[in-house]
Structure 1
Amino acid sequence: MTVLVIGATGEIGRAAVATLSRRYDVLGVSRGSEPAVDITRPETLDALFSTHEPFEAIVVLAGAVPFAPLADLSREDFEAGLASKFLGQVEVVQRGTAHLVDGGSFTLVSGLLSDHPVPGSAAASAINSAVNGFVAGAAPELPRGIRINVVSPSLVSDEPQYDGPFAGYPIAPAAQVAQSILRAVSGQETGRVLRAGW
């Protein structure tokens, strides 16, 4: 069986593929891969699912949110972030459930701004919180023993510190976040927010 990683070319995605590959067969995809998968374009998900056997797990590490002062954020900014990081991940779950084996799992991604906002993070904080809430609500409804969790990483970097509004915030290397993703894939938990690095 294969674990699907959507968003495999980002910093966390690359680390997740490397970590999961030690235990599973992994198919890593992104908007620039072949096949190309963009979670804001549901037809790309359908095309992928139609050409593969059911997956053991689906990991989503994709989705963008705007980061700007609240006064500068428009309705369109919020809608774009919701369409990408929130509704994009919801689409993966809704369309992917039929393409998971019994007892398979989804792992989504949010972030520490849901609990620890900074100036400029109003949209990101709201959308990360929405992802966390979706996972809690979806867990008891998924069929066939399918599990769902969300990994909420701290700031991710191999550098020792961030400046500006993130000064003093916890930082974790991507490899540490990947260990939380492995836990979500291989464990028995469901409906959980797995905090990585904070």
Structure 2
Amino acid sequence: MKILIIGANGTIGKKLTPQLAKQHEIITAGRNSGEVRVDISSEESIKEMFQQVKNIDACICIAASGPLDNFSTLTEKQLLEDFKGKLFGQMNLVLIGQEYLNNNGCFTLTSGVFADIPYKGVTGGAIISGGLHSFVLSASIELPRGLRINVVSPSMVEDSVADFGYLFPGLKAVSMKELVDAYEKTINENITGQILRVY
């Protein structure tokens, strides 16, 4: 398969990309790195990316993250800004990308554990992840031409504990292998509309 990975140079991407490259042709994309440049907060940038890459069988997005927030001062403006990348950006990859992926291609998005497990300081991230889950469920029955869509919802990975573990005491970290396996499953198995929780 020819797979477009957006965010290939991030924490997850650095492990996922070489694993998938063992069996598939990989095209990497990112805002500051990769073979193709893309800012997923921009519809125009997404369109330009899909126009550059041809005959894509799969699109995996592991770019963008929901920043921490302070509930007591949280505003609509801040939420909308936070949603622009990880929520609307990933949805636009599908809404725009459905015109470009090959028949029977697949999309894999990335949400997160806070859709299901509440922690302080992640209200925006929780809404983003929950919204992505609902979007994937709906999109899976709407996409044409046999296109599939799934979302991987990871907890904090072991590789990130040193940097972020103190923010989420008691949150179980998962191995990178478990997480990579979940992304591979969305590529290798004929599944759609699935939320693959790696908690």
Q: Which residue of 2 aligns with 1:190?
A: 192
| Partner SS state of residue 5, structure 1 | strand
Query: When the two structures are superposed, what TM-score results if normalisation uses the length of structure 1?
Result: 0.93
Moved more, 122-131 or 32-41: 32-41
Q: Which residue of 1 aligns with 2:5?
A: 5
Q: Which residue of 2 aligns with 1:19?
A: 19
Give the Cα–Cα distance (whole angstroms) in 2 for the partners of residues 85 and 159 of structure 1: 19
1:39-188 matched pairs, under 5 angstroms: 39-158=40-159, 163-188=165-190
Q: Which amino acid in the other structure matches residue 47 of structure 1?
A: E
Q: Is the 8 A contact 1:54 1:100 kept in 2?
A: yes
Aligned-residue Cα RMSD (Å) equals 1.7
Q: Is the 8 A contact 1:19 1:179 kept in 2?
A: no
Give the Cα–Cα distance (whole angstroms) in 2 for the partners of residues 97 and 155 of structure 1: 30
| Partner SS state of residue 146, structure 2 | coil
In the alignment, structure 1 segments of 5+ residues that lack a partner are none
In the alignment, structure 2 segments of 5+ residues that lack a partner are none
Q: Which amino acid in the other structure matches residue 192 of structure 1?
A: Q
How far the C-alpha of 1:42 sits from its partner, in A, is: 1.8
Give the Cα–Cα distance (whole angstroms) in 2 for the partners of residues 4 and 160 of structure 1: 28
Q: Which amino acid in the other structure matches residue 10 of structure 2?
A: G
Aligned CA distance change for structure 1 residues 63 and 24 (closer, same or farther; 3 Å): same
Identity %: 31
Q: Is the 8 A contact 2:11 2:159 kept in 1?
A: no
Moved more, 153-162 or 142-151: 153-162
Q: Is the 8 A contact 1:45 1:95 kept in 2?
A: yes
